[in-house]
Structure 1
Amino acid sequence: MTTIGEMGEDALIAAFAPRLPVTDSEILGPGDDAAVVAVDGDLVVSSDILVQDVHFRMDWSSPEDVGWRAAMQNLADIDAMGAVPTALQVTLAAPASLDADWVLRFADGLREACEPHGVGVVGGDLSGARDVIVSVTVLGETHGTEPITRADALPGQLVAVSAPLGAAAAGYVQLAEGREIDAESIGLFRRPRPRIGAGLEAALHGATALMDISDGLLRDAARIARASEVGIEILGADVPLHEGARLVAIELQVDPRPWALTGGEDHAMLAVFPRASMVPGGWTVVGETTDAFAGIRVDGEEPDRLGWDHFGA
């Protein structure tokens, strides 16, 4: 084992940089003070962070898993604006005792997630830290179309999701209990697989509001409700449940619906459409917007819990 402290920063960069994905929009990539990227339309930017033992555990996830997750949750944020992701900037902070092979495999995970979408890693930074921390800034472009925000939904419109929910939460429960009931849902917790392009699809079908489900359907729907100044009524029976989550719930003898409503980290798209004919095939209508109340309700009731909150319950 060679640690990153023993290898040194320059040698580490020389080892992992060739393993990173490349994008066609790259004019100048890693190795200079800043990257240069070509943009078609408006530039769309987002960022996210992964902290060891908060967002991932070394004993649950491989380095490739961490790289994949770091990339994919950021690609989903760009897709959730109806834009196309093009490039990542990745910053890694880690203790000097970290095995250098972990960093190389982390780069492999980034490449595995990004290459199918033509996204490259164009730069970033390295730093020492007590724990492993990954910070990603993602760039995207609109190709001349208007980005879709959370703020333009109107009363009387339909709320829909792009995929079944609850798999990531079911995977987390299995890992926390040291069990393997459904391998697919465990895999989806470690490596989210949102359909990148679903957000753009929603935009092209006339969506009035859009975001990805990272903190739970209810919490993220409440964010659209607040930004658009509408109420959102979710019909619990209409929320599609991932089959793996259903299998895990049967084995554990628990209700799987909270996993779909509040579990988060599936990174499916949540969109509002003016009418049913505009909802793309493969999407599921789960509720509607209203001016009868503010905030979020499920089957007419205010929920006790919305989902993940970084600083609260």
Structure 2
Amino acid sequence: MTLTVAELSESALLARIFPRLKGSESVLLGPGDDAAVLAAPDGRMVVSIDTQVQDKDFRLQWPNGYRTTGYDVGFKAAAQNLSDINAMGAVPTSLVVSLTLPGTTEVAWVEGLAEGLVAAIEELGATDCSVAGGDLSAGAEIVVTVAVMGSLEGRAPVLRSGARVGDVLALAGSAGVAAAGWALLEGPTPSSKFTPAMADAARDFCHPRPPLAAGPAAALAGATAMMDVSDGLLRDAARIAAASGVRVDLDPAALGAFVDKMAPIAAVVGANPWAWVLSGGEDHGLLATFADVAQLPAGFTAIGSIMPGDGSLPSVTVAGGDASGFGVGTAGWDHFAV
């Protein structure tokens, strides 16, 4: 018989979660007390928070039949938060997690979520990070909120507002892969019929892999601006443009490799691979600007340049023009868009 959370007390459920978590040197006092105690070696702490809501950010069962595991949600919850710390040029040190669960949620699903959190931390290379604590509550749907803390290790944070005219725009990580994965899970083809490339895209949507080494490396290399790409290149580049008072011009030739990678999957589902690359979100790559292409650290690809923002053009252009020329009519993910 399947055990659900309604059949356990809060203490009993926590007793199943805690052994799946691991500590780190940055967490001086972890789960078990009213609050955690964290180290802040240089007197500053970088903090970010993100939420996943059932049927808004993930489905328990997708149209193609795939069932989302607790491991999937835990991995993604950690990854997307670790990526935000990375975008500041910082190193993640600890997470705290809030879970809202319907009573019908299987205990094994919750145990998998704890394991997914730890797996993301370990596999993505956040070696000095661990889960420091959290909270449990009951509700009508699953809601997972993670707050992450990080250390700048003596460096200045890299902001969105530092891009300068003449800078090179570069990307570390992927573009369009998560959007392809989402389209596949929303489609009619069961996962058992996926090609290897399709399976990889679906996996990367469920388990994003932000390049955590790239943020600190970019900060050390003199990056002038940075941000996580969670809502698509167009929307997130526009945020750098707005914060910095510039225009971002994307180079379609440089983006061609990303488009070519997605083209076979796009052909299967009848999609435009340019739309996935330019406006698909949740890859959690790292967008950064540098004064010179020679500064780009390993793993970064130059994909555009920073131009004067004079109001006569959109804040983000592709080869100097509107993205509609590439069949892209929307500018990325918006939680409140109809």
TM-score range, shorter chain: over 0.9
Unaligned runs of 5+ in 1: none
Partner residue in 2 for 1:216: 232
Partner residue in 2 for 1:297: 317
Partner residue in 1 for 2:295: 278
CA distance in 1, matches of 2:91, 2:208: 18
Report the Cα offset of residue 63 of structure 1. Answer: 1.0
Aligned ranges 1:1-313 → 2 under 5 Å: 1-41=2-42, 42-59=44-61, 60=66, 61-115=68-122, 116-118=125-127, 119-179=129-189, 180-181=194-195, 182-239=198-255, 240-241=257-258, 245-294=262-311, 295-303=315-323, 304-312=329-337
Deviations 1:231-277 (A, max 9, x none): 11112231241765232023335431110110011001000001111
Give the total of aligned pairs: 313
Unaligned runs of 5+ in 2: 324-328
Deviations 1:29-63 (A, max 9, x none): 01111100112222000000000011111124211
The AA in structure 1 aligned to 2:150 is G
The AA in structure 2 aligned to 1:170 is A
Report the Cα offset of residue 74 of structure 1. Answer: 0.3
CA distance in 2, matches of 1:170, 1:264: 10
The AA in structure 2 aligned to 1:43 is M
Give SS of 1:151's match: helix
Q: Identity of aligned pairs, percent?
A: 43
Higher deviation after alignment, 248-257 or 102-111: 248-257
Higher deviation after alignment, 297-306 or 239-248: 239-248
The AA in structure 1 aligned to 2:40 is V
The AA in structure 2 aligned to 1:21 is K
CA distance in 1, matches of 2:90, 2:18: 27
Report the Cα offset of residue 300 of structure 1. Answer: 2.0
Deviations 1:266-310 (A, max 9, x none): 001000001111112331111111115351112222334210011
Q: Is the 8 A contact 1:167 1:242 kept in 2?
A: no
CA distance in 2, matches of 1:15, 1:23: 20
CA distance in 1, matches of 2:164, 2:199: 40
Higher deviation after alignment, 290-299 or 67-76: 290-299
Q: Is the 8 A contact 1:170 1:244 kept in 2?
A: no
Q: Is the 8 A contact 1:69 1:190 kept in 2?
A: yes
The AA in structure 1 aligned to 2:88 is M
Residues 30 and 24 (structure 1 numbering): CA distance in 2 closer, same or farther, change over 3 Å?
Answer: same
Higher deviation after alignment, 221-230 or 193-202: 193-202
Q: Is the 8 A contact 2:259 2:273 kept in 1?
A: no
Give SS of 1:165's match: coil
Q: Is the 8 A contact 2:214 2:299 kept in 1?
A: no
CA distance in 1, matches of 2:261, 2:95: 31
Higher deviation after alignment, 268-277 or 174-183: 174-183
TM-score (norm 1): 0.96
CA distance in 2, matches of 1:151, 1:203: 14
CA distance in 1, matches of 2:185, 2:271: 16
CA distance in 1, matches of 2:259, 2:71: 24
CA RMSD of aligned residues (A): 1.5
Residues 92 and 117 (structure 1 numbering): CA distance in 2 closer, same or farther, change over 3 Å?
Answer: same
Partner residue in 1 for 2:326: none
Residues 84 and 6 (structure 1 numbering): CA distance in 2 closer, same or farther, change over 3 Å?
Answer: same
